[in-house]
Amino acid sequence: MDSASPTTQSKTTDAASPRRETLTVTDNRTGKSYEIPITHDTIRANDLRQIKVQASDFGMMSYDPSFSNTASCKSRITFIDGDKGILRYRGYPIEELAEKSTYLETAYLLLYGELPNSTQLRDWHHHITHHTFIHESIKKFLDGFHYDAHPMGMLISTIAALSTFYPDAKHIFDPESRKKQTYRLVGKMPTLAAFAYRHTLGMPYVYPDNELTYTGNFLNMLFRTSETRYRPNPTLEHALDVLFILHADHEQNCSANTVRGVGSSHVDPFSATAAAVAALYGSLHGGANEEALRMLMEIGSVQKVPEFIKRVKAGETKLMGFGHRIYKNYDTRARIIKQVAYEVFELMGKNPLLEIALECERIALEDEYFVKRKLYPNVDFYTGLIYQSMGFPMTMFPVLFAIPRMSGWVAQWEEMLLDPEQKIARPRQIYLGHDTRPYVPIDQRK
Ligand code: CMC
């Protein structure tokens, strides 16, 4: 709407007049006002395009590098209230799922929207278990990597390579095809991860054992040596299962945004999720668990924590495993992980780095620098300590994040595909480069 009399000051609604779910914006360049609809406390960025100085102008855009205040989708999968420290999958609080559910049941919930009944759960287990094997050629492919190749690099490559084995995955609008690729992706993640790990050790690959649970089988493929049948330790199997539940989804984080963005070009889900693993690999995202443990090792002793915190406050380094774009309170996952850590330490012995981590947390939670910026431990602060105690090398830490996140990525990808409002993801830019200029022949260049 263009209004003849521009609004120049904000006014609260007159108690007598009905509440209008709109935002009135005045362009002070022209004095024109525009009334923009508000839905879910949000305006549509495209509604700004009507704001122009001249009719031939492109129209106003919003500028939001890093999407700090831009909703890119409507979602029904995961809810986070960062100020209150709330995380729910499909409405179920993460604390309840961590206590009462299993990773595979939670994965089903994320993907299909409801908790499965017993028949659905049995079928789901059956399908996942029967898609854990990988094509023998993947082994040859893995053999091409150096012994010290980072397992995340191997994981990205092997997931992408799956698209070449399953060309039917291109039928992304066929529900049966999507179902099959979901089984394959969730089922094969532990196998690909375990094979990458065994490759770095130069040890023979261990094939899946269909009698074991999802996490039990993963431990089998990682750690089995000469025994005829591997029996996972129930405490470690349970700890890993809880960690998998906590990592399964986290709404529109960097890798979820990646799987949606890449998937929006209608590429197959193997290629789209390989891109998501690449996004997760970075040290600000899933790679932070590896970096947090390296940091604790670098600090070396409780006495050296204050000195390290001083360096963080001087902007020389970061306290890895601290801070979050959304959580401005204690990351609820970190609280549960701390409990799991004690269960694992009881079995495996206390990780000597724990005291350093606790001292970092103690100082940070009292220090004005961290308090003012609302920086709390996130999911990656304590996980490394648990993984290390369980016998994982540091390079496997982000892989342990990626395996369970696959269910979240596939849920996000499918929701994006089926959303009629979604199109190919294609942001705008503010071009600040040169205006047109003639080509300069090489002999005339400075
Ligand atoms: N150590 C020290 N200062 C920090 C930290 C940290 N870990 N995190 C943020 N800050 C400071 C930052 O320098 C900034 O200060 P100032 O206002 O003076 O410039 C302020 O806090 C706000 O930070 P930001 O970088 O604007 O926040 P962001 O939302 O862009 O970044 C983050 C979020 C997670 C990338 C960041 O907190 C970080 O780099 N943390 C360390 C890496 C990490 O633990 N990542 C795992 C995230 S949780 C798991 C996952 O989902 O991936």
Residue nearest atom 32 of ligand 1, based on CA coordinates: 324
Task: Give, for ligand 1, the residue of 259, 322, 332 to mutate: max count of ligand atoms closer than 8 Å to Cβ.
Answer: 322
pLDDT at 16: 66
Whole-prediction pTM: 0.93
Burial environment of residue 114 by CB neighbours within 10 A (0 to 12, 13 to 18, 19 or more): exposed
Residue nearest atom 42 of ligand 1, based on CA coordinates: 284
Instruction: Tell me the torsion sign for CA atoms 314, 319, 325, 327.
Output: negative
Q: What is the pLDDT of residues 234-261, one digit of tens each?
A: 999 999 999 999 999 999 999 999 999 9
**Active site (annotated) includes residue 131:** no
* Ligand 1 mean position, distance from CA 405 (Å): 21
**Active site (annotated) includes residue 285:** yes
* Ligand 1 mean position, distance from CA 351 (Å): 26
> Could you tell me how far CA 168 lies from the centroid of its own chain?
26
* Ligand 1 mean position, distance from CA 282 (Å): 13
Residue nearest atom 15 of ligand 1, based on CA coordinates: 373
Residue nearest atom 22 of ligand 1, based on CA coordinates: 373
> Pick the catalytic residue: 324, 419, 434, 435?
324
> Pick the catalytic residue: 168, 380, 435, 443?
380
* Ligand 1 mean position, distance from CA 321 (Å): 9
* Ligand 1 mean position, distance from CA 323 (Å): 5
> Pick the catalytic residue: 199, 238, 250, 285?
285
* Ligand 1 mean position, distance from CA 328 (Å): 11
Q: Which residues lie with the beta carbon below 6 Å from any ligand 1 atom?
A: 250, 253, 284-286, 288, 312, 318-325, 373, 375, 378-380
Question: Which of ligand 1's atoms lies nearest the C-alpha of 66?
Answer: 30
> CA triplet 131, 333, 294: central angle to 5 degrees?
85
pLDDT at 13: 52
**Active site (annotated) includes residue 209:** no
Task: Give, for ligand 1, the residue of 313, 325, 381 to mutate: max count of ligand atoms closer than 8 Å to Cβ.
Answer: 325
Residue nearest atom 45 of ligand 1, based on CA coordinates: 284
Residue nearest atom 34 of ligand 1, based on CA coordinates: 324
pLDDT-flagged residues of the chain (< 70):
1-16
